[in-house]
Each structure stands twice: as C-alpha cells, then as structure tokens.
Amino acid sequence: MNIAIAIDGPAGAGKSTIAKLAAKSLGFIYVDTGALYRTIGLCAYRNNICSKDVDAIIKMLEDMKVELAFNENHEQIVLLNGEDVSSLIRTPEISMYASDVSAIPRVRAFLLDLQRNMAKTNNIIMDGRDIGTVVLPDAKIKIFLTASAKVRAKRRYDELIEKGMDVKFEDVLSDVETRDYNDSHREVAPLKPADDSIIVDTSDLDLEQSVEKLLSIMKERM
Ligand code: DC
C-alpha cells in the first residue's frame, strides 16, 4: 500500500519548497496541485476568457488536456495539451486566474481523478488546499502549513524580485490577502484544516527548521 501525505495551507506558507525537500529526503514523489489550477487559469487567460465566466470556463474544459509528468530530476512538470507550461503558470496574473477558476466546482471535479491516480501508484507528498479534506481524505499524515499573511507576502515578494519581476510589496500583500479570502470563502472545498490535521505555523521558522519540523512529524507517524 502506498503512503500518502497531504500538505494543505494558504498561498505562500512555503508548502511547495518545504514539501519538495521533505519528499526528496523520504524518497517520495512530490505533487504540487496548485500547478493544475494554474494551468486551467493559463488556458483561460490565453483564450481571453474572463476567469469569472463560469460557463465559458466549463466549456473550455471540454477541449483541454492537463497532465502531470516528471523530468529527469524527478521534478513535476505540467502539460497543457501536451505543452510544458510549468514556468508560464508562475506569474501574479495567473495566480489570480487560478484562484478564480479553482472556485468552480466543475473545475475541481475535472482535476480530482488526476490527483487521486497519482496517489494510487506512488508514495506521495501532495500539496494543495483540499488534499486532506477532499482529494485524499484517507491520507496517512495530514499537515496544515501556515504563516502570517505578512510573512507569506514577504517570502513571495522576495521570490518574485529574485526572478527579476518588478513588483511592490503592498501589491503582493494585497494579492495574498485577496487569495486567502477567496480560497477560504468559496463554497466548494474551501481552504481549511482537516479535523485530523496537524497545524504547523512557520512564521518564526526558517526553511531548514520548517523542513526538520515536518520530517520529524512524518517520521514519527509513518
Ligand atoms: O498553491 P498555488 O498558489 O499554486 O495555487 C494556485 C491557486 O489554486 C490558489 O489560489 C488556490 C488554488 N488551489 C486549490 O483551490 N486547490 C488546490 N488543491 C491547490 C490550489
């Protein structure tokens, strides 16, 4: 039987960086489910479809294919109709599109099997918003990773600046707050800790300490 570890939490809590390192240390596959919603957001953006136009987005799903694959370094890549869009989905604009489309029940249903199938065939650490509550409710370990909005915005701001993007801290903070609100107030699969999840706040932890903390929780429970 494969082992599944769910890591949920708000944007910028460090889920992907921390989960990736933890997965490497355990020899598990790491799956970032946000990339799937981002890919649907990118597809809408490219087709000039407003991210709040539910009917048009649902129609768009009929002709789109989203796949996950892994490169030679075991890193996840996401394919939109066969094209590797892994880097193209990492812009602030697409973040907002992703947040909007992720509130559409049909979009969530569209991605459900893909996510569950990954867990059927691999030992996996899967990160998202609803992994412990909806996608993998039987996950062996569920962690809800969080940090204050300011700390999360500062981390994201530093990342974007490092990539050479011209952004203001206030805008990044406001994006984080808007996405938090959207993600936790939508009707389907809102962002919330599963009843049986362990809540880890990384506001006062650096990357190394966060990874250590997660690994110690995981090893204790496996
Ligand atoms: O983790 P991320 O920032 O890449 O996620 C992008 C958006 O997708 C985010 O606004 C919330 C949404 N999302 C979701 O609703 N459910 C998931 N399992 C993962 C992401």
Contact 66, 36 (CB under 8 A): yes
Crossing angle for the helix pair 169-185 and 92-101, to the nearest 10 degrees: 10
**CA separation for the pair 56, 52 (Å, rounded):** 9
pLDDT at 67: 97
Rg value, the chain, Cα: 17
pLDDT digits (tens, 9 = 90+) for 67-123: 999 998 888 999 999 999 999 999 889 999 999 999 999 999 999 999 999 999 899
Residue whose CA is closest, atom 11 of ligand 1?
A: 99
Q: Is CATH 3.40.190.10 correct for 4-221?
A: no
In this structure, the residue with its CA closest to atom 3 of ligand 1 is 11
- At 179 the pLDDT is 85
Contact 36, 111 (CB under 8 A): yes
> Atom 8 of ligand 1 has which residue's CA nearest to it?
34
The 124-128 sheet, strands edge to edge? 29-32, 124-128, 4-8, 141-146, 198-201
Structural element, H or E, at residue 6: strand 4-8
What's the pLDDT at 6? Answer: 97
Q: Ligand 1 — pocket residues by CB below 6 A? A: 11, 33-34, 37-38, 95, 98-99, 102, 128-130, 179, 183
Work out which ligand 1 atom sits closest to the CA atom of 115. Answer: 18
- Sheet containing 66-70: give its strands across: 66-70, 76-80, 83-84
Backbone angles phi, psi at 4, to 5 degrees: -115, 135
- Angle CA 162–75–78, to nearest 5: 90
Of all protein residues, the one whose alpha carbon is nearest to atom 18 of ligand 1 is: 128
C-beta neighbour count of 26 within 10 angstroms:
17
**Residue 165, φ and ψ in degrees, nearest 5:** -85, 150
Distance from residue 101's CA to the centre of ligand 1 (Å): 10
> How far away, in angstroms, is 10 Cα from ligand 1 center?
8
155 closest CA partner among 201, 203, 96: 203
Q: Given a cut of 90, is residue 171 above it in pLDDT?
A: yes
* Angle at 29 (CA atoms; ends 190, 118), nearest 5 degrees: 60
- Number of the ligand 1 atom closest to the C-alpha atom of 35: 4
Phi, psi of 5 (to 5 degrees): -120, 125
Give me ligand 1 centre to Cα 102, in Å. 7
List, for residues 128-150, the tens digit of each pLDDT value: 999 999 999 999 999 999 999 99
Protein residue with least CA distance to atom 10, ligand 1: 99
Give the predicted TM-score (pTM) of the model.
Answer: 0.91
Looking at residue 73, what is its pLDDT?
A: 83
Residue from 31, 32, 37, 93 to probe ligand 1 pocket by mutation (most atoms less than 8 Å from CB): 37
Cα 83 to ligand 1 centroid, rounded to whole Å:
20
How far apart, in whole angstroms, are the C-alpha atoms of residue 14 and residue 32? 12
User: Which H/E stretch holds residue 150?
Assistant: helix 149-162
Residue 187: pLDDT above 90?
no
Percent of the chain with pLDDT over 90: 81
Residue 186: per-residue pLDDT: 85
Residue 178: CA atoms inside 13 Å, Cβ hemisphere, count?
Answer: 14
- Average of per-residue pLDDT across 12-16: 87
Q: What is the mean pLDDT of the chain?
A: 94
